[in-house]
Structure 1
Amino acid sequence: MSSKISLQKVQLIDFPKVKDSTGILHFLERADLLPEGIKRAFWISEVSEQSNRGKHAHLRESQVLVAVSGIVEVWAHQAGQKAVKFSLDRPNLGVFIPALTWVETKFSKGAILLGFSNQEFSESDYIRNLDEFEKYQ
């Protein structure tokens, strides 16, 4: 595969917040993470407890993932590297997942995962086979 692929770093994000007597507003305003803007938002709910999801990577799509309720454990790794675990257990934490990063998730009971993407959905952007993904070094 091409060695010209520029990978960004998988990283934990502590979202800014505004707190007042009525609650806390968290927001995403990081153009450096998704410079093309947010082209798709998605959320995943009603996943049976301890079920795994994800198990794929994207060729071009980058995402920011946030557990707005419950706990979502995210394992992320780039080809040839060890997986790093992130525990999204507060709504002010998110994780940036750049393109060409394999992701697997595990949900606690009642967890809801919100995702922001820099791409519209395209099945051709998915890598769903781990062995194939590992060739992208």
Structure 2
Amino acid sequence: MPDFPDPYLIALPKLGAPDIGYISVADGQGAEVPFAVQRVFWTYYTPESIVRGRHAHHRTEQVLVAVAGRITVVTETAAGALHTFRLEDPRMGLYVPPFTWHTMQYSHSAVQLVLASQPYDEADYIRDYDQFRALGPGRPAG
């Protein structure tokens, strides 16, 4: 399995002023996003009691942005490193590399924007946690 970096935060540019508002920009394969964006999707109106995600990807890289509200993201790398991120600033993105298990829990008002490096492909998903753990170097399965 290729060696991928741990998930990390990306500061997106913040342009504007308090009297006119702000815009943030993420150019695909630009200084902010480390891949060419092939797919964009968003989630919203997720009940606070629901945990979403619960998967990893074989190839897809993602940047997650809380454009509104708060999102708590827990990641686990194939090597077993755990990280918790609290996204609540629309100019901050979270880079999630391939082979990173991730879960998200949202405030009710949260809107999550996702920039993805690949078009949707169900075969790219690792949805079974035991299978994910078995992929890690030196990690026992189950």
Structure 2: runs of 5+ lacking an equivalent:
137-142
User: Please, which moves more after superposition, 22-31 or 93-102?
Assistant: 22-31
Q: C-alpha separation between the residues in 2 aligned to 1:59 and 1:52?
A: 21
Q: C-alpha deviations, 1:61-114, integer Å up to 9, x for none?
A: 000000111100000111232320000011111100001100000001111110
Correspondence list, 1:37-76, <5 A:
37-76=36-75
Correspondence list, 1:1-137, <5 A:
2=1, 5-20=2-17, 21-29=19-27, 31=29, 33-35=33-35, 37-137=36-136
Q: Is the 8 A contact 2:6 2:77 kept in 1?
A: no
TM-score (norm 2): 0.87
Q: C-alpha separation between the residues in 1 aligned to 2:66 and 2:81?
A: 23
Seen in structure 2, the aligned counterparts of structure 1 residues 130 and 11 have a Cα distance that, compared at 3 Å, is same
CA RMSD of aligned residues (A): 1.4
User: Please, which moves more after superposition, 90-99 or 25-34?
Assistant: 25-34
- Equivalent residue of 2:123, what SS? helix
Q: C-alpha separation between the residues in 2 aligned to 1:50 and 1:23?
A: 32
Matching residue's letter, 2:105: K
Identity %: 32
Matching residue's letter, 2:63: V
Q: C-alpha separation between the residues in 2 aligned to 1:134 and 1:95?
A: 22
Q: Is the 8 A contact 2:28 2:37 kept in 1?
A: no
Paired positions, count? 133
Structure 1: runs of 5+ lacking an equivalent:
none
- Aligned match of 2:140: none
- Point out 4+ residue stretches in structure 1 off by more than 4 angstroms: none
Looking at both structures, which has the greater relative contact order when contacts are Cα pairs under 8 Å and sequence separation is at least 6? 1
Matching residue's letter, 1:93: M
